Structure 1
Amino acid sequence: MKDTRATQKDAYEMILEAIDVGIYGPGDRLVESELAERFGVSRTPIREALQRLETQSLLARDGRSLIVASLSHDQMAELYVVRSELEGLAARLAARHATAEEVRVLRSMVRDDEALLEDPAALARANRRFHKQIHLASHNRYLVQQLDLVYRTMALMSTTSLALEGRGCDALAEHGVIVAAIEAGDGDAAYEALKSHISMAFESRLRHDAEQLMAEG
């Protein structure tokens, strides 16, 4: 018999992944019975997983229903501030602690991701993988845990900035600068390069949101 705690964890992780990859987006309603059928588990672990996600503010109440939460402008700005500082710290630590093998993996990611420029969804997945590799290369488990929480909340953004025209190419060039600083062991440069990278991503998103508001108006 499968451990109940394992089932609860599986249900939580499966729902979280479905939100992360865009199966469920901001405003989408999550129904226990539908989730149980989709993931092949009973309703009890689904219910407990939904309660946990609501506690983490990844789900919100809409009457009696639970929906995937969305981020306000202020919440998004706050998230980017935290992300910028934590990711900058990860890059600084990676410059000190990354192994030669980890640096080579980062370089190969930048090179390989050029083939994904015409596929924003695939590029977004590759981007998360690249950043996760930097987090791991920091060799600081507590920082990695905090960044995992940040990225979990970022799943609530309905679009990726990499889908914006020209942003993918610019982002890969910025990745190259970050890796070069890490490879050189220059913590200050790595910190500044990654913070600049996050700033550019935020600026692109703000510009896109402003254009959307004008179009709707």
Structure 2
Amino acid sequence: MSQNRGQTRDAYSLILEAIDHGEYKPGDRLVESDLAERFGVSRTPIREALQRLETQSLLARDGRSLIVASLDHNQLSELYLVRTELEGLAARLAARHAAVEEVKVLRDMVEEDKAIVDDPTALSRANRRFHKMIHLASHNRYLVQQLDLVHRTMALMATTSLAVEGRGVVALQEHAAIVEAIANRDEDGAYQALKSHISEAFETRIKLSADS
């Protein structure tokens, strides 16, 4: 039984990672047998993983088929509203609780990411790592859990706002400002800096959607 639970978790993670990396995009159909063959996992844990992803609204029904869900404008607005507040809270708590070592890691991330500022795909992955580090630095397990759910839903976006020309450079400047506020134990400053960062990303994404 424990082995089957382990396979289910693995199947879930593998499918979620594939969606997150854009290998399966919104509207793509997920076929149980194909997934089992691709990931080398039996069909039972694949089926259970698909059911879990459907429950989390990451997959949707299209007749008898399951497809990767997509977000309309209203859903996107709702998601960013929640994300903005939760991320801001994480920054506030990080300014209060982050260890010196965690702050150093955040600073190192900003410096290292300058080398990939012209690679939207790599920068998007680095951006997720940066935000995850802030979540962990908040030292609040329940907040981390809620942000994990929000970021799983973010995987349903087919494109990254960091692909917009010039956005990568600005985003890294915003990251640096967030880290400095955290390092200075400026709770209000960290909260506002991260909220502003997410707001800018949302505005960029709206423009991206309008142009597509």
Q: Which bin holds the TM-score, normalised by the shorter protein?
A: over 0.9
Q: How many pairs does the alignment contain?
A: 212
SS at match of 2:16: helix
Q: How far apart are 1:2 and its partner, in Å?
A: 7.2
Note the 1:1-217 alignment, pairs <5 A.
3-212=3-212
- What's the % identity of the aligned pairs? 74
Deviation at 1:75, TM superposition (A): 0.2
Please identify runs of 4+ aligned residues in structure 1 that moved more than 2 A.
none
Q: Distance in 2 between matches of 1:2 and 1:14?
A: 18
Shift of 1:49: 0.7
- Greater Cα shift, 44-53 or 181-190: 44-53
Task: State the 1:158 CA deviation.
Answer: 0.7
SS in 1 for 2:185: coil
Supply the AA of the counterpart residue of 1:67.
Answer: I
Residue 57 of structure 1 aligns to a residue whose secondary structure is coil
- Equivalent residue letter for 1:136: L
Unaligned runs of 5+ in 1: 213-217
Aligned alpha-carbon RMSD (Å)? 1.0
Q: Aligned equivalents of 1:6 and 1:145: distance in 2?
A: 20
SS in 2 for 1:60: strand
Paired with 2:3 and 2:204, the residues of 1 have a C-alpha distance of: 45
Gaps of 5+ in 2: none
CA distance in 2, matches of 1:208, 1:146: 27
Cα distance per residue 1:151-195 (max 9 Å; x no partner): 000000010000111100000000000000000000000000000
CA distance, structure 1, for counterparts of residue 9 and residue 204 of structure 2: 35
CA–CA distance in structure 2, aligned partners of residues 94 and 137 of structure 1? 5
CA drift at 1:117: 1.2
Residue 3 of structure 1 aligns to a residue whose secondary structure is helix
What amino acid does structure 2 have at the position aligned with 1:140?
N
TM-score normalised per structure 2? 0.98
